[in-house]
Amino acid sequence: MRHRLKAIRGFIGLILTTALSVLLYPFKQVFRGVCFVGRGIWWTIRGIGRMFMAVIHGIIATPGAIWRTPMRMYRRSVVWRNWVLEKVEYLQSESAKWKTTFNILKSPYSFLRMMGLSPQMAVGLLAVGGTTGGGVIINETILAEPSFSKGDHGIYTAPSDIPIVYSNEDNTLRVDLGTTPVGEIVIENVSVGTAYANSALPSGQTNVVMVGGTAASSGFTATWLEVGHLKINRWRCDTFEMSDVEAHTLNIKYNASDGQAIAPVAGTPRARAIGGGNRADSMITSGGTYDQIRIGAPTSATNGKVDVLELTNLLTKGGKCLLSRIKAGTIDVEFMETGLGNGFATKEFVVATSTKYKIANIADNVEESISPP
């Protein structure tokens, strides 16, 4: 009986709890909604507050940031600068090490060049002596390709110091001048033609030295070599000829020859100097042996231009030294020795009547017996 009463009470309690839950459910949901809205409003107010404080903090921090920005940028630039300098210093160090290594390897060749030997003779001696090793190979290929400044033969076009044509079978030194004016060309202390052992003129050539423009021919318009100051000094030639030349000032002095004919004609050549703005740098070489030297203007209708052309101390043999088709401001021909040792009747030193001048200084030129070297 007692168990039945307890079950009845439990059942009545369940009914009452269920009834109350149903009756209070709308109020419970309303309460939850109010709580949710309240939390949304609170978080919104809190977010607005945080945003407002962030704006205040930004306003307060801006002057300081502006003040600190240059120093920060400088510190960052210092970091990049130091990184770049470390790499540059490393590369310079490596370059110096390689340069020293190659200089050591090429020292036999460099020593012979320092003693005054031409590139060809230096290589020949090393080859004959059996000492042609890595030094010469490196010097001739990697470190020092043929160049005008080192006295190597070849065909050169200003302003390049490297020949456009180079062949071991052709020992001619040739400089072609055209649209690019050159400030200075200097060739000194060289032997040309058959003046040294086992040498010969190029096939079909009769002139050892040729300086000047090119005469007209079929399909070719004649050219001139325009020079500000042409200096011919201390040449030794079998024969010498100056023809088709115009010079404002012509100086022919202190020359000795085995027969001479000096007959320039007065005219009105203008004073001349070669500018040209961004002209080529000087081309200078000293020492060497060549079969032939040619300085000219080989391009049709394009004159060659050089401000100072100096050829000093040339020992030549086997052909003529020729100056032709030149227009110059000043020409100096001094201290030459010319002759074949065949008497004064044959004129080995000739300044032809086609040479014109406005001012001439012709003095102390003598005839005496001079034989080829």
For the whole model, what pTM was predicted?
Answer: 0.63
Q: Which residues of the chain have pLDDT under 50?
A: 129-143
Q: Give the pLDDT score at 160.
A: 80
Confidence at residue 348, expressed as pLDDT on a 0 to 100 scale: 95
Element (H, E) at 344: none
Q: DSSP for 117-171?
A: --HHHHHHHHHHTT---HHHHHIIIII----TTTT--EEEETT-SS-SB--TT--
Asked if residue 216 lies in contact with residue 237, where contact means CB atoms within 8 angstroms, the answer is no
Are 298 and 224 within 8 A, CB to CB? Answer: no
Q: Report CA 295 to chain centroid distance, whole Å.
A: 21
How far, CA to CA in Å, does 244 sit from each of 103, 224, 238, 266, 355? 48, 10, 20, 13, 5
Please state, in angstroms and rounded to a whole number, the distance separating the CA atoms of residues 272 and 260: 28
What pLDDT digit, counting tens, does each position of 105-139 carry? 555 655 555 555 555 556 565 555 444 444 444 44
Is residue 328 within 8 A of residue 248, CB to CB? The reply is yes
Tell me, what's the pLDDT at 89?
A: 85
Per-residue pLDDT at 116 = 53
Query: Could you tell me if 300 and 178 are in contact, meaning their C-beta atoms sit under 8 angstroms apart?
Result: no
**Would you state the pLDDT for residue 137?**
42
DSSP string, 180-245: S-EEEEEEEEEEEETSSTT--PPTT--EEEEEE----BTTB----EEEEEEEEEEEEESEEEEEEE
